[in-house]
Structure 1
Amino acid sequence: MAHRQVEPYVWPRWLGRPEAGLRLIYLDLNHWISLAKAATGHKAGGRYREALEAVRTAAASGTTVFPLSATHYMEMSNIKDPRQRADIALVMEELSGFRTLLSRTIVMRFELEEALQNHPRIRGPQMQHFPLLNFGVGPSLGINGGIQIRSADGSDVTAASRLNWPGGPSAFDAWKRDAELYMERGALRGPSDTEVPSLKANGWDPTVARATAEKRAEQEREQGRRLDADPQWRKGHRLRDVVSARYVIIELFDALNEALGARGIQIEDVWQNKESARQFAEKMPSADVDVTLTTAAHRNRDKSWQANDIFDIDALSIAVPYCDVVVTERHSCSVLNATKVPRKAGTRVVPTLSDLITILNET
């Protein structure tokens, strides 16, 4: 089998990275659940107490952040027991401070723009800068976070309200901070059983995110059936080429058309053949992680795609390139490390909290 050239990543210049010396450690939901068991004295939490103390110490040092992502909020909404959600949310608040990774959609767009800027014959407009690390659920979903005060005609009058607030601007800041914390806690823990009926009466639907993920999982199941019809596609590098092409069509198509239109060019100006298309996708860090995990899943013809698989891939596609350490489940960890994606990104990906303790004790 011919050796394939490893494409170096193009890192988006418009994405504001955390200050030097601040380490980002991403935990998937299962590990947050384990920490919550330790924090609440659950009978199964004893083996995680050392890890809980280690991450508490790291978070308190001010040099380590345990950020949340949109996937955490989506997965938390699927936990039916309000008490369990509350226990997990309490540990998440303590260790993350509600700091969140920027929306996957925005990061993907930045990577796409950077890949086009990196093309030797194509230049385009500058983008607005966004920080990778933010506060609250809003930025993780690609929307403005925080409380805004609007007038009857919809105008933003937050700044004016702050100046005229009873007690002055400092009183407004304190009120706003407390109100936003209340909102963030509610968004993460979800409603109690008694709150659900009134929320649903006002249009609240906790199943939307899972329904969307389920539709995407069905797309992968359909793709699996197409691959079954011609098993040759699962062999060698051909499968990755197929997955890369579908990633561009499904995940990047609208953004790519918009970016090309802004430059007045056609897709043929960027991709002359299959090889150049693959190389283009592999330059984008989140795309490389997504395609790597999806390709590995489709290697197994018995794979049964579920909504949780979509959640996991979405989360890791941002966490692996942009965090320093990722603690995830064993299979994804094995796939990523076998393909050397973490090494390329400069990230350590490990499967257990015990591994994380070892990393934290190294410094």
Structure 2
Amino acid sequence: MDIYLDQNIWIDLAKIYHGKDERPEAVELLELVQSKITSKAVRFPLSSVHYIETATISNPGRRERLGQVMFDLSRGETMAYYRRIVIGELEKALSVHFDIAPREYELFGYGYSHAFPIDFPRGIPDTIRPLLERSCLTGEKVFGQGMGGHNSKEQDKKFNNHIKELYRVKTELPKSQWDDALYAMALMDIQDPLNEVLQFWNIDFSEFESLGKNVLSSILDDMPSRALEVHLHRLVLANDNYNPKITDLNDWGGFALGAMYCDHAIGEKHMVDMLTRKKFKSKANIHKNVFDLGTVLENA
């Protein structure tokens, strides 16, 4: 069973792990988590967003404590990086319309280099690798060198501005054309991986484009990441009072995407509400409280 935990849920678990929350039900929950991990009945895969959010913690001690818990309880298991997931989705969706065989890839793997398109240096002894992997989360230095630094603020701001600009769709287009605009955005957002896939399979872009609006929209609907994007953008457009948060990029690309591929996802109320509105179907059963994890694990 694959369970995606939002960053705030990891923080809740870290408080229990480090004795900041000593309530009996909290201690019991942690013991249940650890027993299920030991039996390999569940896994808690990390995404690139987890690394990014943890690396932006300015307090070294706080980052190290949280990173330790995330590495220990995830066992270093990670989801593939976003672009690779999108390529897999594209090839599967296009195989319905073109004579191609989607290339296999591991959705879940091990470590930092699985969550990012980055290779670890070759020749690292097996005894050292876990230390380096852990340091990507904790910020600890291994042999005097730190690993896994990130600063996502610039991308956060760009995405925040993108959400704000969505309202131009309302003012410039009639409501009957909003969906067309959203599907166009969802396609433009993956232009680079799309070009890569078309080139790999020798499909001319004109062949792809000739499929027509309805078929192209159905292809995007068949791609979990694109169906998610269209759904979330629809909700933003429908809500005149939607107030973009600087964390929206991480919420959409982390927790929301994780919910499309894991069996369960536990996160904050804001994103839980967005993922469960308008009868939207994610793969995961969605929960919004760390103690919901206990109920999930009891059935694992």
1:180 to 123, 126, 129: 129
Distance apart, 1:274 and its partner CA: 3.2
Alpha-carbon RMSD: 2.7
- 1:6 aligns with none
**Aligned-partner Cα distance in 1 for 2:11–2:210:** 44
Structure 1 length-normalised TM: 0.73
Q: Give the 3-state SS of the residue equivalent to 1:118 in structure 2.
A: coil
Overall identity of the aligned pairs, in % = 25
Q: Secondary structure at the match of 1:134?
A: strand
Q: 1:227 aligns with which of 169, 172, 186?
A: 169
Query: Does residue 287 of structure 1 match 2:221?
Result: no
Measure the CA separation in 1 of the matches of 2:65 and 2:149. Answer: 22
Aligned in 2, Cα 1:127/1:272: closer, same or farther, shift over 3 Å?
closer
**What's the CA shift for 1:249?**
0.7
- Residue 276 to residue 45, structure 1, CA distance change in 2 (3 Å): farther
Query: Which residue identity is paired with 1:227?
Result: V
Q: Residues 94, 246 of structure 1: CA spacing in aligned structure 2 closer, same or farther, 3 A cutoff? A: same
Larger radius of gyration: 1
Q: Which residue does 2:247 correspond to in 1?
A: 308
Instruction: List gaps (5 residues or longer) in structure 2.
Output: none
Q: Which amino acid aligns with 2:99?
A: R
**Partner amino acid, structure 2, of 1:182:** L
Residue 355 (structure 1) aligned to one of 289, 292, 300: 292
- 1:1-363 equivalences in 2 (<5 Å): 23-42=1-20, 48-119=26-97, 122-124=98-100, 126=101, 128-144=103-119, 146-149=120-123, 176-190=125-139, 206-207=150-151, 209-224=152-167, 226-230=168-172, 232-233=174-175, 238-250=177-189, 252-261=190-199, 262-267=201-206, 269-270=208-209, 272-342=211-281, 345=283, 347-363=284-300
In 1: Cα distance, 2:295 partner to 2:113 partner: 33
**DSSP 3-state at the match of 2:180:** helix
Shift in CA distance, 354/205, structure 1 to aligned 2, threshold 3 Å: closer
| Aligned residue-pair number | 297
**Residues 113 and 266 (structure 1 numbering): CA distance in 2 closer, same or farther, change over 3 Å?**
same
Amino acid across the alignment from 2:59? D
- 68 and 297 in structure 1: CA distance in 2 versus 1, 3 angstrom threshold: same
Distance in 2 (alpha carbons) for counterparts of 1:337 and 1:300: 15
Q: CA deviation at 1:308?
A: 1.2
CA distance in 2, matches of 1:358, 1:212: 36
TM-score, L = length of structure 2 = 0.87
Structure 1 residue runs of 5 or longer lacking an equivalent are 1-22, 150-174
- State the 1:272 CA deviation: 4.3
1:153 matched to which residue of 2?
A: none
1:67/1:101 contact within 8 Å kept: yes
* Distance of 2:78 and 2:70 partners within structure 1: 11
